[in-house]
Amino acid sequence: DEEMPQTEKESLRYTNSCPLQWETRPPLISASSWQMLPLNNISILLLEPQSPANIGSVARVMKNMGLTSLYLINPQTEINAESFQLACGADDILAAARRTETLEETLRPFSLCVGTTSRSVDTFPRVLTPHQLATQISEFSGESQIALLFGPERTGLTNEQVQYCQWLVTIP
């Protein structure tokens, strides 16, 4: 196996079709821009989370991405030992998680709410891919509070809940 220089590795993505092929792909955001993104203004909101394991897993992903603010809106479960086990070092995020009762109450301090959905939403005014979302968020000032809203694990966001969002993000 021939080792690829580090600079080339950073711009390549492994393809699933063939284990020996690499595909050139432009970075989502340049490295210099990414370092300037203020992440302390981005919060993750879990609406009616149903699984302690999911809450822990979300905390772990948040920690890996440099996010620290987690809201649990009308949780259907408690943070427990399983949550902490799956958080793998993100105990601080779980300990600081804010619990709120309603989506409306939770969204008051936020300038922008981005809902997540796996459904095709043709009627919504602004539906973005994750790449587009990263680019759009990078244009916000560090003072604008941004909420990324995830619906219940089994059902996702309802049409009514989506109406609280200014933007939606979906994975094509």
Tens-place pLDDT, residues 78-90: 999 999 999 999 9
Q: Are strands 22-24 and 42-47 parallel, antiparallel or unpaired?
A: unpaired
Nearest to 147 by CA among 91, 108, 90, 97: 108
For residues 134 and 132, what is the distance between their CA atoms, to the nearest angstrom?
A: 5
**Segment among 3-12, 72-81, 106-115, 135-144 with least mean pLDDT:** 3-12
pLDDT at 21 over 50: no
pLDDT at 23 over 70: no
| Both structure tokens of 45 | 């909101």
| Most confident among 26-35, 91-100, 109-118, 138-147 (mean pLDDT) | 91-100
For 63-73, the pLDDT digits (tens) are 999 999 999 99
Q: What is the band of 29 on the pLDDT scale with cuts at 50, 70, 90?
A: low
pTM comes to 0.78
Could you list the beta-strand ranges (E) of 25-162: 42-47, 69-73, 98-100, 112-116, 127-128, 146-150
Asked if 91 contacts 55 with a C-beta cutoff of 8 angstroms, the reply is no
Q: What is the pLDDT of residue 1?
A: 42
Burial (CB count within 10 angstroms: exposed 0-12, middle 13-18, buried 19+), residue 115: buried
